[in-house]
Amino acid sequence: MDEMGLIQNIVATAVNLAGQQGAHHIHEIKIQVGAASGMKPESVEQAFDRVKSGTIAQDAHLLLEYLPMVCYCATCNVEFQPIDPLLKCPECHQPHCEIRQGYELALQEVEIS
Ligand SMILES: [Zn+2]
């Protein structure tokens, strides 16, 4: 996965949003990172530091919201956090349940002035 590219998109979106509102500085950018997105918080931070320089977000603080993986079993109608890579339902032990959360990598909030 191209972390730099993904983070660059997020920062570009934040910069556009700020621009549309006539802002000159971005103070804080909040990003949601899902546990299954393959993104490690430290690599998100490193990529962020590199792509923000030279933009109005260059002094921005990065806030990461780390989301655990959540699966759903239609048979039992339960949501659960999988504990093995087969995504087994804890009730009926059926594997490969639907993934409801965990692949997020998205801009959530931008604080501007
Ligand atoms: Zn089940």
Whether 46 is covered by a domain: the verdict is yes
- For the record, the structure tokens of 57 come out as 């977000």
pLDDT of residue 5: 92
* pLDDT class of 92 with cuts at 50, 70, 90: very high
Structural domain tally of the chain?
A: 1
Tell me, what CATH number does 47's domain have?
3.30.2320.50
Whether 36 is covered by a domain: the verdict is yes
* pLDDT class of 2 with cuts at 50, 70, 90: confident
**Full DSSP string of 6-58:** HHHHHHHHHHHHHHHTT-S-EEEEEEEEETTS---HHHHHHHHHHHHTTSTTT
Distance in Å, CA 82 to ligand 1 centroid: 12
Distance in Å, CA 93 to ligand 1 centroid: 6
Distance in Å, CA 81 to ligand 1 centroid: 12
What are phi and psi for residue 26, nearest 5 degrees? -110, 125
Distance in Å, CA 107 to ligand 1 centroid: 32
- For the record, the structure tokens of 68 come out as 């655990």
- Model confidence over 49-78: pLDDT tens digits? 999 999 999 999 999 999 999 999 999 999
Domain that includes residue 29, residue range: 3-68+101-112
Distance in Å, CA 76 to ligand 1 centroid: 4
